[in-house]
Amino acid sequence: MTNIKAGIIGGAGFTGGETLRILLHHPQVEIKFVHSRSNAGNKLYAVHADLLGETELTFTEHLHYEEVDVVILCLGHGESRVFLQNNPVPEPVKIIDLSHDFRLAENAGNFVYGLPELQRKRIKEAKAIANPGCFATCIQLGLLPLAKAGQLQEEIHISAITGSTGAGQKLQKTTGFTWRNNNISTYKAFTHQHLHEIKQSLASLQGEFQQEINFIPYRGNFTRGILASIYLNCPLSEEEVVHLYQEYYQEHPFTHVSSQPVDLKQVVNTNKCFIHVQKQGNKVLITSAIDNLAKGASGQAIQNMNLLFGLEETAGLLWKPAAF
Amino acid sequence: MTNIKAGIIGGAGFTGGETLRILLHHPQVEIKFVHSRSNAGNKLYAVHADLLGETELTFTEHLHYEEVDVVILCLGHGESRVFLQNNPVPEPVKIIDLSHDFRLAENAGNFVYGLPELQRKRIKEAKAIANPGCFATCIQLGLLPLAKAGQLQEEIHISAITGSTGAGQKLQKTTGFTWRNNNISTYKAFTHQHLHEIKQSLASLQGEFQQEINFIPYRGNFTRGILASIYLNCPLSEEEVVHLYQEYYQEHPFTHVSSQPVDLKQVVNTNKCFIHVQKQGNKVLITSAIDNLAKGASGQAIQNMNLLFGLEETAGLLWKPAAF
Amino acid sequence: MTNIKAGIIGGAGFTGGETLRILLHHPQVEIKFVHSRSNAGNKLYAVHADLLGETELTFTEHLHYEEVDVVILCLGHGESRVFLQNNPVPEPVKIIDLSHDFRLAENAGNFVYGLPELQRKRIKEAKAIANPGCFATCIQLGLLPLAKAGQLQEEIHISAITGSTGAGQKLQKTTGFTWRNNNISTYKAFTHQHLHEIKQSLASLQGEFQQEINFIPYRGNFTRGILASIYLNCPLSEEEVVHLYQEYYQEHPFTHVSSQPVDLKQVVNTNKCFIHVQKQGNKVLITSAIDNLAKGASGQAIQNMNLLFGLEETAGLLWKPAAF
Amino acid sequence: MTNIKAGIIGGAGFTGGETLRILLHHPQVEIKFVHSRSNAGNKLYAVHADLLGETELTFTEHLHYEEVDVVILCLGHGESRVFLQNNPVPEPVKIIDLSHDFRLAENAGNFVYGLPELQRKRIKEAKAIANPGCFATCIQLGLLPLAKAGQLQEEIHISAITGSTGAGQKLQKTTGFTWRNNNISTYKAFTHQHLHEIKQSLASLQGEFQQEINFIPYRGNFTRGILASIYLNCPLSEEEVVHLYQEYYQEHPFTHVSSQPVDLKQVVNTNKCFIHVQKQGNKVLITSAIDNLAKGASGQAIQNMNLLFGLEETAGLLWKPAAF
């Protein structure tokens, strides 16, 4: 059985912790080092308290690139590029980066955009992976089958609600409990940065794609998950669209087309994406739900790692759902 | 000082309780009876426990129409019409009905649609009021100024999130804590029943109005409030639209145009509607927030009552906000 | 009708905002200035966004002591004493301080401990009031009648759960949404600073009082309110204890003895305290609930202000409850 | 590798669903049937929607005892005994019952109380297991080491807060979202039914145990988990008590003594119990946290199953924690 040796960079943040939670139970991975400048010398469970009893590993400030097959970067946006410039990763070691630094073709270099449902084959052959954004994953999975069928012929309308972990670990007003509890609000309407990678992916499937995408992101009062509603005019019948989705995703183990309406908690603490399709008049409405930290970040990173190293795509990623 | 005598029908439900909470502190209203078949004989605080210490009133199964100036019906949808047929209200007594039974012109009879920001003058002269729906209030207040200016010239897109009290008191899966806590979901996409009254009002201001309204309602994991995002193509500049809204609402004491983005909790436990307007490319985006039980139901009912009887419009409706 | 002129110091924090929300609707109070160094020049609603539409007042860095009858200090613990030393309040102006700086006799100077249910008469004649702590208010109201009857003869056991606003406005890990949502934890077990003022008050009613008080405070995942469970051995029957409480509180308008079990939301956004008493074997169990920002802080401050100036004790304090 | 064949009775409830979530990923278990009268013929994911994509199993009304090594009963309290009388399980098939029907010695018959940290050896040799209650598990794990050391010499004081799933699937007022969200309340003070099994276990370790246990249970506004605070007078030093706990639990893979204070979410969606011990004056305070559906129900049931069949105790029980 292949045994992959991994190093984590930025292990003290939300996605770093989630990556650790996954890898500690991954049957074919050994964690060789967990890098964190601010926490060097501390036990992992000093930061991620739930890990008490699972590991005695400590954070380190040293980068033992020579001991690993892959490094996973869980740094803030803009920090990965700088980090890699200052700490270049030697040739045979593969890279998975969770930031947005290498997602767009114009800045990607040798990084491959890591959405397995879009380009599993390219991922398998990559040396470096740019892991998609959380909103971007949820929305793309809701649109890829239509794009592949060339059916994105009109303006697209999206509202999507994200949990607080999407905003990262840094304390700010909108992630404070007193403000956010029982509250709801929008932000970055029409201008969310993930629109770029979404459009790039859609254009790769539907060459002429240049429709406007209207996206209203909401801050939700929960910690985990994204639920997106996506609609556009579409001449196909509901049955035809459902069929497109079923066919597109039948070879993909984490994305499921539900015949029933989906709600967010069905996918929390899983690496799944649940999709529901319905037709109302001329509009097709797609509801898509993921866990922003799992399929939207660390889970997808490990899915990509599995592909990079020829492991089973689902290895270490079939968890007990939280459900409630 | 005028002293209005009021009777409440259906006082044991959510909107009944909220109407009582308001009227108990209204300086110009005396509650003469609170009707409830299932709770007849019980103290109000046996059902609405927070009212302990505020009143020793009991529920009654008798309808003392002869003692009151107004009856306020807080019954379920479909129940008001039946109730009034079986228990006709005598001539001089005015009626405010919170159900949807009399909101649409084709079924309204002598009921006037009670949205003061739309038709305060007609309300003042009415004998019976059909109080608007909660989503309908939030969305109309977000669109009336554009309708009046004849600027609803293209398809309208709305996503809006409501609290659990909007679903009423009856227990069901989607209002159970285990299901709803930390969850989010959509329902009645494109087909919510409030669309009818919304279209009716918009058409009354902009005669030719027949644009499609695409409305995605969400169930939110909070108890009170509705936040709506509404957008459409509009050739006016942001300044022009803001000006339309400020002008439209300057004589209306509860609807305020905020220069800053609004979040839901700013209006919880108030009778206010906060509106924020921004322009992004060709799209104008209006965010509108109300408390579904206040401006979206019982608060607006009392606002209508104030207008019916020539009281100050804000009488009894300036409460300490909950804010947190 | 008396018209009290008030100045607020520290108006930008949680208790400052809550004091403003109350005073803006108080029929006999005029706010003359709201002091805040960091927000000088800004509208109140720039900080307390819910106040849009209620006032155009701005924060000021000037202390217009000469214009007011009373100043209300909403500063952090330890800051009030320093502030008053640097900015002495001239003779006729009364002071209400919400911090813990003047609550204990050894540091009180001319400050009177402002728990109306303990010593309304002394408050009425005071020049300066030390407003009680939130846990301290909730727990004392649960114990005063027993203390007055000399029935605190054994060790006392208390668990109590507080909302996030009790921790103040400063962002910290335990008030972050991601940490606190759906979480529960204890802190300062047996050592919470409010124990001092609780013991001081109990001893003032039951001279020999020196029982141990075991107090486990919990951080709850809600924003407003405190619910306390208090028990001790007591030879009286349930009827006798209930009678003691009813008698003790019959002249106090905000503290009510409920014959039914109480839950937290019954008092949220009210100035009330709800108390339930039951007996189980030798133990008497008292459940006490308040809103930490209202009866536990700003509401009680205004209750004290009313007493200081001979107003009706409930003036400006009978609000529509939030209930849900 | 042993392959255990399991049948689930009552698979449509909360603990039934949780048992399924665990067993579907258990490497050494095959689910042979999932019994549910009301859902017979439906897919598991028609009830437990998160299981879409994990299994195509359906509920059945047939009891295929002949195909299984063990049946796990996830029925309501009082229902298990009746069910087993009406549907007796043949000799070689083992039974794990999650109800309280067989927990107390006087009604246990051949059922062994299934708390591995109390009596792993007896469990390994049992034919039938009475799985402990959720509060009972959390509290016993907080007291067993002191009981074994004979240190429960004085009255014990406990407050503990549980999530909504502890109340089961049936809709009722106190599990409704509108009531429970942001609320807190106590119930069954001093009389909770789990006290019996707690006392039975403590007496089995500390023969003369007959101290009073004062237990205040709280309903918390979260879905999963129990946090308990337990204190009593104890002459041992903090170091001595911590040492007792570390020694007691060193051979138990799921119960961990934390040197840092614990909060509830550290154990949510894990089978762990986290315990923190501190001393304050004469009092020792133990904080104990579990997930009520995992270590407090279905997780512990599978832990017992592992022991019954000689599997690794942790098999199928090392999940990715939810953490947030």
CA distance C198 to B234: 62
In a domain, C319, yes or no: no
Query: Which chains pack against B, by 3+ Cβ pairs within 8 A?
Result: A, C, D
Task: Please determine, for residue C77, whether its predicted confidence score (pLDDT) is greater than 60.
Answer: yes
CA distance, residue D231 to nearest chain C CA (Å):
9
Residues of chain B positioned with their CB less than 8 A from the CB of D164 = 177-178, 181
Nearest CB partner across the interface for B263, out of A185, A189, A264: A185
Residue D217: phi, psi to the nearest 5?
A: -85, 140
CA distance B223 to C323: 10
CA distance, residue D133 to nearest chain C CA (Å):
20
CA distance B216 to A218: 14
In a domain, A208, yes or no: yes
Task: Mark whether B224 and B273 lie in a shared domain.
Answer: yes
Best of B174, B186, B224 to substitute, by most chain A Cβ atoms within 10 angstroms, is B186
Task: Mark whether B87 and B197 lie in a shared domain.
Answer: no
Q: What percent of chain A has pLDDT over 70?
A: 99
Task: Please determine, for residue A125, whether its predicted confidence score (pLDDT) is greater than 60.
Answer: yes
Task: Mark whether A216 and A303 lie in a shared domain.
Answer: no
Mean pLDDT, chain A, whole residue set: 97
In a domain, A117, yes or no: yes
Nearest CB partner across the interface for B185, out of A187, A264, A278: A264
Q: What pLDDT does B310 receive?
A: 97
Task: Mark whether A288 and A300 lie in a shared domain.
Answer: no
Tens of pLDDT, residues C290-306: 999 999 999 999 999 99
CA distance, residue A265 to nearest chain B CA (Å):
6
Could you tell me which residues are beta bridge partners of residue D161? Answer: D218, D227
In a domain, C303, yes or no: yes
Helix (H) or strand (E) holding B73: strand B70-73
Nearest CB partner across the interface for D265, out of C183, C227, C287: C183
Q: What's the ipTM?
A: 0.97
Q: Which of B74, B134, B138, B273 is catalytic?
A: B134
For CA atoms B188, B194, B200, B203, give the dihedral sign. Answer: negative
Query: Nearest-CA residue of chain A relative to C324?
Result: A182
CA distance D76 to A279: 41
Tens of pLDDT, residues C226-267: 999 999 999 999 999 999 999 999 999 999 999 999 999 999
Q: What pLDDT does C208 receive?
A: 84
Best of C250, C263, C270, C324 to substitute, by most chain B Cβ atoms within 10 angstroms, is C324
Task: Mark whether C104 and C212 lie in a shared domain.
Answer: no
For every residue of chain C, which 3-state class applies, written as one string?
CCCEEEEEECCCCHHHHHHHHHHCCCCCEEEEEEECCCCCCCEHHHHCHHHCCCCCCEEECCCCHHHCCEEEECCCCCHHHHHHHHCCCCCCCEEEECCCCCCCHHHCCCEEECCHHHHHHHHHCCCEEECCCHHHHHHHHHHHHHHHCCCCCCCEEEEEEECHHHHCCCCCHHHEHHHHCCCCEECCCCCCCCHHHHHHHHHHHCCCCCCCEEEEEEECCCCCCEEEEEEEECCCCHHHHHHHHHHHHCCCCCEEEECCCCCHHHCCCCCCEEEEEEEECCEEEEEEEECCCHHHHHHHHHHHHHHHCCCCCCCCCCCCCCCC
The SS3 of residue B145 is: helix
Task: Mark whether C156 and C274 lie in a shared domain.
Answer: yes
Nearest CB partner across the interface for D324, out of A224, A267, A274: A224
Best of B178, B183, B264, B293 to substitute, by most chain D Cβ atoms within 10 angstroms, is B178
Q: How confident is the model at residue C9 (pLDDT cuts 50, 70, 90)?
A: very high
DSSP D252: -
Mean pLDDT, chain C, whole residue set: 97
Q: What pLDDT does A2 receive?
A: 66
Instruction: Please state the rounded mean pLDDT for residues B183-201.
Output: 98
Helix (H) or strand (E) holding B288: strand B283-290
Residues of chain B positioned with their CB less than 8 A from the CB of D165 = 178
Tens of pLDDT, residues B84-110: 999 999 999 999 999 999 999 999 999
DSSP B88: P
Task: Mark whether D35 and D101 lie in a shared domain.
Answer: yes
Instruction: Please state the rounded mean pLDDT for residues A97-126.
Output: 98
Task: Please determine, for residue C2, whether its predicted confidence score (pLDDT) is greater than 70.
Answer: no
Query: Nearest-CA residue of chain D relative to B172?
Result: D171
Residues of chain A positioned with their CB less than 8 A from the CB of D223 = 324
In a domain, A317, yes or no: no
Query: Nearest-CA residue of chain B relative to D177?
Result: B177
Q: What pLDDT does D272 receive?
A: 98
Q: What percent of chain B has pLDDT over 70?
A: 99
What does the CA dihedral B134, B139, B140, B145 come to, rounded to 10 degrees? 150
Could you tell me which residues are beta bridge partners of residue B256? Answer: B274
Q: How confident is the model at residue C189 (pLDDT cuts 50, 70, 90)?
A: very high
Tens of pLDDT, residues A259-285: 999 999 999 999 999 999 999 999 999
Contact B52 C274 (CB under 8 A): yes
Contact B190 A223 (CB under 8 A): no
Number of domains in chain B: 2
For CA atoms A118, A121, A122, A127, give the dihedral sign. Answer: positive
Q: Which residues of A touch C (CB under 8 A)?
A: 14, 164-165, 169, 171-173, 175-182, 221-223
Task: Report the relative pairing of strands A4-9 and A70-73 from DSSP bridges.
Answer: parallel
Nearest CB partner across the interface for C171, out of A165, A176, A221: A176
CA distance A208 to D219: 56
Q: Verify whether residue B138 is a known catalytic residue.
A: no
Task: Mark whether A252 and A115 lie in a shared domain.
Answer: no
For residue B71, what are the domain limits?
4-132+295-308
CA distance, residue A175 to nearest chain C CA (Å):
5
Contact D185 C262 (CB under 8 A): yes
Nearest CB partner across the interface for C17, out of B52, B224, B323: B323
In a domain, A320, yes or no: no
CA distance, residue C31 to nearest chain D CA (Å):
32
Tens of pLDDT, residues B240-280: 999 999 999 999 999 999 999 999 999 999 999 999 999 99
Residues of chain B positioned with their CB less than 8 A from the CB of C17 = 323
C103-133 b/e (C-beta count within 10 Å ≥ 16 → b): bbeeeeeebbbbbbbbbbeebbebebbbbbb
Query: Which chains pack against A, by 3+ Cβ pairs within 8 A?
Result: B, C, D
Q: What pLDDT does B208 receive?
A: 84
> Measuring CA to CA, how many Å separate A274 from each of A231, B213, C164?
16, 27, 34
Task: Mark whether A118 and A151 lie in a shared domain.
Answer: no
Tens of pLDDT, residues D17-62: 999 999 999 999 999 999 999 999 999 999 999 999 999 999 999 9
Picking from D156, D149, D115, D138, the residue whose alpha carbon sits closest to that of residue D242 is D149
Task: Report the CATH number that the domain containing residue C244 is assigned in CATH.
Answer: 3.30.360.10
Nearest CB partner across the interface for C258, out of B25, B52, B269: B52
Q: Which of A74, A134, A138, A273 is catalytic?
A: A134
In a domain, A315, yes or no: no
Best of D55, D180, D287, D320 to substitute, by most chain A Cβ atoms within 10 angstroms, is D320
Contact B229 A214 (CB under 8 A): no
> Measuring CA to CA, how many Å separate C96 from each of C102, C111, C309?
10, 9, 12
Task: Report the CATH number that the domain containing residue B99 is assigned in CATH.
Answer: 3.40.50.720
In a domain, D146, yes or no: yes
CA distance, residue B185 to nearest chain A CA (Å):
5
Query: Which chains pack against D, by 3+ Cβ pairs within 8 A?
Result: A, B, C
Tell me how many degrees the CA angle D118-D123-D125 measures, rounded to the nearest 5. 140
CA distance C258 to D23: 47
The catalytic site residues of C sit at 134
Query: Nearest-CA residue of chain C relative to D223?
Result: C182
Give the distance, in angstroms, between the CA of residue C257 and the centroid of all CA atoms in the same chain. Answer: 18
Contact B221 D178 (CB under 8 A): no
| The length of chain B, given as a count of residues | 324
Task: Mark whether C191 and C150 lie in a shared domain.
Answer: yes
Cβ-Cβ pairs closer than 8 A, B with D, add up to 52
Q: What pLDDT does A1 receive?
A: 57
Q: How confident is the model at residue D258 (pLDDT cuts 50, 70, 90)?
A: very high
Task: Mark whether D265 and D192 lie in a shared domain.
Answer: yes
Task: Mark whether C280 and C299 lie in a shared domain.
Answer: no
Contact B177 D176 (CB under 8 A): yes
Query: Nearest-CA residue of chain D relative to A249?
Result: D53
Best of C186, C224, C226 to substitute, by most chain D Cβ atoms within 10 angstroms, is C186
DSSP B316: T
